[in-house]
Chains A and B, each alone.
Chain A
Amino acid sequence: GESVGLHLPTLSVQEGDNSIINCAYSNSASDYFIWYKQESGKGPQFIIDIRSNMDKRQGQRVTVLLNKTVKHLSLQIAATQPGDSAVYFCAETREGNNRLAFGKGNQVVVIP
C-alpha cells in the first residue's frame, strides 16, 4: 500500500523562529496532500492541503511545499508560537479516494 513517512521524530524550536517539518511519500499516484496537527488530548485537525498540480500553497503562518520529483512534502510554520506545539502528520490520497494514508507524525516542541 501507500507509504507516507516523516524524516525527523522531534523538532525543538525557539518561540518566534520558523519551523520546517518534512515528509516523504512513496505513492506517485497520489494527487492530494494534507497536513494535520494533533495537540495533546485532541484529535488531528486539518491545517492545509495542496494538490499535485501545485508546488506551493500558503495559509495563515503556514506554507506547504510539494516536490513531486523527489516525492517530498514540507510544512513551514512562520514565527512559531507555543500553541504550535503538537504532533504534525502528513497524509496523502487520490482525488475521489475515500482513504487517507497518514505518516507516523513528527513532534514539534516550542521553547518559550
Chain B
Amino acid sequence: ETGVTQTPRHLVMGMTNKKSLKCEQHLGHNAMYWYKQSAKKPLELMFVYNFKEQTENNSVPSRFSPECPNSSHLFLHLHTLQPEDSALYLCASSQELLDAWEQFFGPGTRLTVL
C-alpha cells in the first residue's frame, strides 16, 4: 500500500449525473494532485493543491471541480460529464510541492461515462 486511498474504485455514471471521487493520504504530505489516465496517452495532470490551496489548473473543463478541505483529503466533483471523460482518475501526493518528482499514487478510480 502506498498510503493513498481512493474511493470508489469503480464508478459508472450517466451524463446527467453528479458524483464525487474521494482521495485520502495518510502520509502527512502537503501537496496533492489529480491525474487523468486514458488508454494510449500519457498521464495528464489536472489539478495541483499545496497546503489546501489550488496552485494549478491544467485547463481542465469546468465539469470537473476539485475540492481540498485539508491537506489529507482531496475530492473531484463530477457533473454533466461526456463519454470521452471515461478514464482512470489517479490521485497522488508528495511531501512538498517542490518534491513533485516523488509522488505517491492511489490505486485510481475507473470511471465510465455512459
Is A56 positioned at the interface, with any CB of B under 8 Å from its CB? no
A73 shortest CB reach to chain B, Å = 14
Chain A residues within an 8 Å CB radius of B41: 104
Stretch of A12-20, A59-67, A76-84, A95-103 on the interface side: A95-103
Is there contact, CB below 8 Å, between B45 and A99? yes
Cross-chain contact of B48 among A42, A96, A98 (Cβ < 8 A): A98
Residues of B within 8 Å of A98, CB to CB, are 31, 48, 50, 55-56, 97-98, 100
Please classify the interface of chain A as helix (H, G, I), strand (E, B), loop, or mixed, using the class held by over half of its residues.
loop
What are the residues of chain B within 8 A of A88 when measuring CB–CB?
Answer: none
Residues on B close to A: CB < 8 A? Answer: 2, 4, 31, 40-43, 45, 48, 50, 55-56, 90-92, 97-98, 100-108
A101, B104: Cα distance in complex, Å:
15
Docked-complex contact A44 and B107, CB < 8 angstroms: no
* Contact-residue bracket for chain A: 20 to 34
The one of A32, A43, A104 in contact with B42, judged by C-beta atoms closer than 8 angstroms, is A104
- Is A4 an interface residue, CB under 8 A from the partner? yes
Evaluate contact between B56 and A45: CB separation under 8 angstroms: no
Extra contacts, 6 of them, besides A43-B105, A46-B102, A99-B45 (Cβ < 8 A), are: A41-B107, A43-B92, A91-B101, A95-B98, A96-B98, A102-B42
Choose among B2, B45, B55 the residue that contacts A100 (Cβ–Cβ < 8 A).
B45
User: Provided the pairs A98-B31, A98-B55, A100-B45 are in contact, do residues A43 and B2 lie with their beta carbons within 8 angstroms?
Assistant: yes
CB interface residues, A 23-64, toward B, < 8 Å? 32, 34, 41-46, 49
